[in-house]
Structure 1
Amino acid sequence: MSKTELPELSCSRIVELIQDKLPALFFVFSRGRTEILAQDLSREWDFLDPEEKSDARKIINAAESEYPGTFSGPGWHILKRLLYQGIAYHHAGMLPPVKYLVENLYSKRLIFVVFCTETFAAGVNFPAASAIFDSTRKWDGHDFRILQNREFYQMAGRAGRRGFDQVGHAVIRIDSRFPEQTGFFDEKFVEPVSGRLIISPNTVLSLLRYKSDTEIGRFLNDNFKTFQTRKREKELADQIKLSKELIVELTSSLCRDTLTLKCPIERARAHRRLKHSRRRGGNKEKELLKRQLASFTPRKCRETDKCRSNAEKLNKLKIHINLLYQEYKSVTEQVDSTFREYGEVRDILENLGYVKNREFFPRGLFALELHVQEIFVTELAFSGIIEDADPAEVAAVLAGVEFVPGKNTRATWLDIPALREASQIRWELLSMGVPERFCVWSDLPGALAYAWYNGASFNELLEMSTFQPGDVFSIFRREIDLLRQIERAAGDNLSIAERVRAIRGRLDREEVALCF
């Protein structure tokens, strides 16, 4: 793969420089910016000839005929114009049929430049001749940071089509404000994969229900996360042992007067401190240094350079071993973290009345069938909200399960009893010590679900909020999956099972039901 770094140029200029290396995936770390840059490029470039435009028109017309509601939403007329020019954008805020149309046109070589977010590299296998980076800085939810080597090569690896290109090309647009953002990516230093075992309430309940104590111990002990932690613990222990041996070796090479004021090196340092104290006016420090210097007879030494070098090495080594000790302590505490986390979640479930040792109570059996926010959803069910509240209100409550609002996310405010009660349940769980990660819920999507249940159109939902179409679609698909889980968890309680099945039927329609 060849890599090119370009100064801050317009998209049009970049495409002009690499026009013999198309098609290209233009990676942008902002949904809105993908659309802006695509429109900017369309003002100067049209990649399709009349025959190709005709082929594109047939594919677009077929998609519009199959999903008429989807291709009438806001922004479609802009994207449609771009597609006829061989340009597109692709991000998670788009409805699946629209994304599939872009992917279909790209696979048929009717799109030459796609402005896309990094999710395109993660989930869609469409290689290109070139991968262009609008920037190598991204927002990670807390701050802007440089891409990791692993992230860069995941995206840059899309460049180079088997059977078409001898080499793939990665092009990086340099932002003059951040000159450090490029020039450092190296496949030799791709970050290692880290083990990550999440102990959820369902994990604990499933282990208690289906595994023996021996099997539970093996599960908690023989996982990738624990393996990596123990491996790192051993590596650090070996490094500490080696550093100690080097410290002993270096210390033995120093004469007995090293680090005392008999040593010429230490006396020179003391004189520098004395000179510095005079400038600052530190009388007490000055008098102390004078007395210390006078109390030692200088030693003549012919190996001051060797001593100075070894003393510096010894000092650096001591700093290094202190850092190793700190990391070793942190890693040692993590070795048994999986067992501790398991115990903590089990205690929570026992305190809430889900289980007692191996005995399962009704709440525990219900939560056993859930795989998202098990405790919060179970408490919703046992509070009577799902069974007794108005079905549209139930839809509003469940839409917010595991939803985390973005900084600029807005929606029409909905004030209904079920949402207020759900908020109270969440507050009570938190006050009982249930971790916030087990109570992730927001009332923000409630108005959309309430309106959709009552027959609102998809475009009306978009007018009620700042959500993009793909976001609304994702909210409802997650809720529909959750309703299936609740129906399964209800078991013999036909009242709840029939109710959530009916709610699911009302939600799983039109744009939301597409491709499923």
Structure 2
Amino acid sequence: MRFKTFILDKFQEDSILAIEKNKSVLVSAPTGSGKTLIADYVIDKFLKENSRIIYTAPIKALSNQKYKEFTNSYGEDKIGLITGDLVINPDAQVLIMTTEVYRNMAIINDHTLDSVAYCIMDEIHYISDEERGYVWEESIIFSPRHIKFLFLSATIPNSKEFASWIQSIRNNPVEVIKCDIRPVPLERKFYDSEIGITTLDEIKERKELDKYPDYNHFMRRRYRTSRVPKPDFRNLIAELGDRLPCIYFVFSRAKTMEYASTLAIKKQFLTIEEQKKTITIVSQEFNKLNKEMLSLKSTQKLRECIPKGVAFHNAGILPELKHIVEKLFSVGLIKVLFATETFAVGINMPAKTVCFDSLRKYTKTGFRYLTSKEYFQISGRAGRRGIDKTGLSVAIIHRPTAEIDKIKEFTTKDVLPLKSQFKLTYNTILNMINQHSAEENTRILTMNFFTYQKLKGSKSNRLLGSIKARFTKATNLLTTLGYIKDDKLTELGLFTTKIFGDELEISQMFGGNIDLDEYSILLLLASLEYESKKETIFYKTFEDMNSKRLFNKIQQNPILRRGVWSHNIDKLTAIIHPLYHQKKFLDILKNSNLVEGDLIRIFMRIMDKLEQISKASNNKKELVMINNCKKMIINSLEGIHLF
């Protein structure tokens, strides 16, 4: 069977046959195996049938990439993009969006979904994500029953259980298609500073020998562990030899730039002919940037690295710079690319070799080892179909501190099952009360994946009672706070159904006694969206009566006092004061050491919230202020590409 110019693998054929039978389909296959081709088929099929399709992705980078791919294939008039802060062609036949946007549509019963035939959910294994997993779960629960799904995922050990849950709540058959074979076999290796590229078993044997003492010429007993040097990324890359290009994953944005700069000083990876091609492309692309962009540290560092065949890619650099790096990498002129984890999800650009700087990453709860899903997602970028016979994955191991048995668990096989992260947000509860009867809500509370996994078809009054008790407790609080009255939503409650994230804080901003103006709106939203970091320095802040008055108002409101980091109010005047006074983005950037990508993210998150508020509010004065705030951000970002 062929589709376009491709001869389909069996799992792709089986998936398409199930789609033709009007079934929902769950495809579980390794990264790089060709799952996206099935999504292409769905889009092609339903475009021809004049039906509407939605494609959801877990991160904006992947949404943006898919938008570019699909517009190239089907034309700009057919494709739309909605990522909360960015809306392009929202009436298009194919809508690409983040999963959060889709969930928000589903939970408020948005009429956009009335005409949707199929929803493609990419990276469905994100349902296990501790912070965001509930978004995928609610998307499935609250979607209109006429919508069929194509779920795409890396290997799912409990795929049949997951499909059975979906069938049980949607009354629609879900075909499970599994493929365990990679089109390009993956060779999994590890790097030790003394042994070099080797196996985990070899490192384990050497670690056992390290326990025994040896003696120096003074006959002092010493344990070898104490003098095993830490691995150096430069030595690993040198040992790779011709097994390039390589994507070297680092769980630190700062280190991607640092490593690239260090390597480029010492090594030239390009031939004379490749250097000529690179210089031509670099000249063309960098000439498109204005003087302020050219003066940025990230731009200067890339200009130094790229002619050597080295580059870095992370969320902190301008989209324009990411495009240049991606273009050069795609044509083989970047041989070593230092990237953060998002490159493994957001950019479909495999390499011959993938390296891990570490198998541990920092999260909000501290350092932890990768999960098997994370390890295989990143490793899956190794091996280019039709080019490489095998892909190589190499992870750096520091022998003395490595937990070898633990590492073996998650690097041998992806055995992590999908797990429910269901939780009841205030927004969810208010929308349930607004959209459904009390009887329907009782049924909805039992529809989550957590309940299904625990009950397995049996009934547990204790478990169901616990979920209902959480719902009742939250409902009582919302009633006390004035969001619900006589089992119906008040005006404040209705407003809050349209606010997704920080819903109580934002509703208190507009429903409380704050006396808002444009400056205070921007400052409050910034304080909600800014993620405080120790290393962030605000060089120039602005004292004024407005920020002091706002601080006092926050202290008087218990919800705002809890949700708004009021000590950030003064700091954030460094970026909000110049924004309010019509300064441009690159001028605002000078007031702190925030990298350009982080400042863009703050502004775009504020823009997302402003868009939500504009849909939630009926107050003309508020709507005028919200519109003015949006204009200020648009003015600031003029000339900056947002994706």
TM-score by length of 1: 0.73
Find the counterpart in structure 1 of residue 190 from structure 2: 5
Do 1:130 and 1:169's aligned partners in 2 also have CA atoms closer than 8 Å? yes
Shift of 1:342: 2.3
User: Helix, strand or coil: the match of 1:369?
Assistant: coil
Find the counterpart in structure 1 of residue 501 from structure 2: 372
Pairing of 1:81-480 with structure 2 (within 5 A): 81-180=304-403, 182-188=407-413, 190-231=415-456, 336-383=465-512, 385=514, 388-389=516-517, 391-411=518-538, 412-424=540-552, 426-430=554-558, 436=562, 442-443=568-569, 444-480=571-607
> 1:128 and 1:367 mapped to 2: Cα distance?
46
Find the counterpart in structure 2 of residue 39 from structure 1: 261
Relative to its length, the structure with more helix (as a share) is 1
Structure ID, larger Rg: 1
Shift of 1:388: 4.2
Q: 1:29 aligns with which of 243, 251, 270?
A: 251
TM-aligned CA distance change 1:466 to 1:117, over 3 Å: same
Shift of 1:335: 5.4
Counterpart code for 1:14: L
**Mapped pair 1:514 → 2:632:** no
Q: 2:631 aligns with which of 478, 499, 505?
A: 505
Do 2:189 and 2:393's aligned partners in 1 also have CA atoms closer than 8 Å? yes
Counterpart code for 1:107: S
Shift of 1:66: 3.8
Identical counterparts, % of pairs: 28
Do 1:130 and 1:160's aligned partners in 2 also have CA atoms closer than 8 Å? yes
> 2:545 and 2:470 mapped to 1: Cα distance?
35
TM-aligned CA distance change 1:163 to 1:27, over 3 Å: same
User: Helix, strand or coil: the match of 1:4?
Assistant: strand
> 2:576 and 2:271 mapped to 1: Cα distance?
44
User: Helix, strand or coil: the match of 1:508?
Assistant: helix
Do 2:529 and 2:606's aligned partners in 1 also have CA atoms closer than 8 Å? no
Q: 1:59 aligns with which of 252, 277, 281?
A: 281
Could you list the per-position Cα deviations for residues 217-251 of structure 1 after superposition, in whole angstroms to 9, with x for gaps in the alignment? 222111112222334999xxxxxxxxxxxxxxxxx
User: Helix, strand or coil: the match of 1:170?
Assistant: strand
Counterpart code for 2:274: E
> 2:595 and 2:325 mapped to 1: Cα distance?
17
User: Helix, strand or coil: the match of 1:509?
Assistant: helix
Do 1:22 and 1:129's aligned partners in 2 also have CA atoms closer than 8 Å? yes
User: Helix, strand or coil: the match of 2:531?
Assistant: coil
User: Helix, strand or coil: the match of 2:242?
Assistant: helix
User: Helix, strand or coil: the match of 1:207?
Assistant: helix
Find the counterpart in structure 2 of residue 328 from structure 1: none
Do 1:396 and 1:448's aligned partners in 2 also have CA atoms closer than 8 Å? no
Shift of 1:90: 1.4
TM-aligned CA distance change 1:188 to 1:465, over 3 Å: same
> 1:232 and 1:80 mapped to 2: Cα distance?
60
Counterpart code for 1:212: S
Find the counterpart in structure 2 of residue 281 from structure 1: none
Shift of 1:23: 1.0
> 2:528 and 2:463 mapped to 1: Cα distance?
30
**Mapped pair 1:72 → 2:289:** no
Shift of 1:75: 2.9
Do 1:488 and 1:497's aligned partners in 2 also have CA atoms closer than 8 Å? no
TM-aligned CA distance change 1:344 to 1:413, over 3 Å: farther
Do 1:399 and 1:446's aligned partners in 2 also have CA atoms closer than 8 Å? no
> 2:237 and 2:355 mapped to 1: Cα distance?
9
Could you list the per-position Cα deviations for residues 310-351 of structure 1 after superposition, in whole angstroms to 9, with x for gaps in the alignment? xxxxxxxxxxxxxxxxxxxxx997655443332232222211
Could you list the per-position Cα deviations for residues 108-128 of structure 1 after superposition, in whole angstroms to 9, with x for gaps in the alignment? 211111111112112222111
| Unpaired stretches in structure 2, ≥5 consecutive residues | 1-185, 194-230
Shift of 1:74: 2.4
Do 1:133 and 1:171's aligned partners in 2 also have CA atoms closer than 8 Å? yes
TM-aligned CA distance change 1:366 to 1:195, over 3 Å: same
Deviates further, 413-422 or 402-411: 413-422
Do 2:582 and 2:635's aligned partners in 1 also have CA atoms closer than 8 Å? no
**Mapped pair 1:495 → 2:495:** no
TM-aligned CA distance change 1:42 to 1:371, over 3 Å: same
Do 2:529 and 2:605's aligned partners in 1 also have CA atoms closer than 8 Å? no
Counterpart code for 1:123: G
Counterpart code for 2:581: N
Do 1:196 and 1:225's aligned partners in 2 also have CA atoms closer than 8 Å? yes
Do 1:393 and 1:416's aligned partners in 2 also have CA atoms closer than 8 Å? no
Counterpart code for 1:345: A
Shift of 1:509: 3.3
Deviates further, 418-427 or 142-151: 418-427
> 1:332 and 1:72 mapped to 2: Cα distance?
64
**Mapped pair 1:14 → 2:236:** yes
TM-aligned CA distance change 1:384 to 1:105, over 3 Å: farther
**CA RMSD between the two structures:** 2.9
Shift of 1:83: 1.3
> 1:467 and 1:396 mapped to 2: Cα distance?
17
TM-aligned CA distance change 1:4 to 1:43, over 3 Å: same
Do 2:316 and 2:598's aligned partners in 1 also have CA atoms closer than 8 Å? yes
User: Helix, strand or coil: the match of 1:26?
Assistant: strand
Could you list the per-position Cα deviations for residues 363-421 of structure 1 after superposition, in whole angstroms to 9, with x for gaps in the alignment? 11221221121111111113464x643x2343222212243312333324444445445
Do 1:394 and 1:418's aligned partners in 2 also have CA atoms closer than 8 Å? no
> 1:449 and 1:338 mapped to 2: Cα distance?
42
Shift of 1:448: 0.7
User: Helix, strand or coil: the match of 1:466?
Assistant: coil
TM-aligned CA distance change 1:332 to 1:408, over 3 Å: farther
Relative to its length, the structure with more strand (as a share) is 2
> 1:470 and 1:76 mapped to 2: Cα distance?
13
Deviates further, 478-487 or 357-366: 357-366
Find the counterpart in structure 2 of residue 303 from structure 1: none
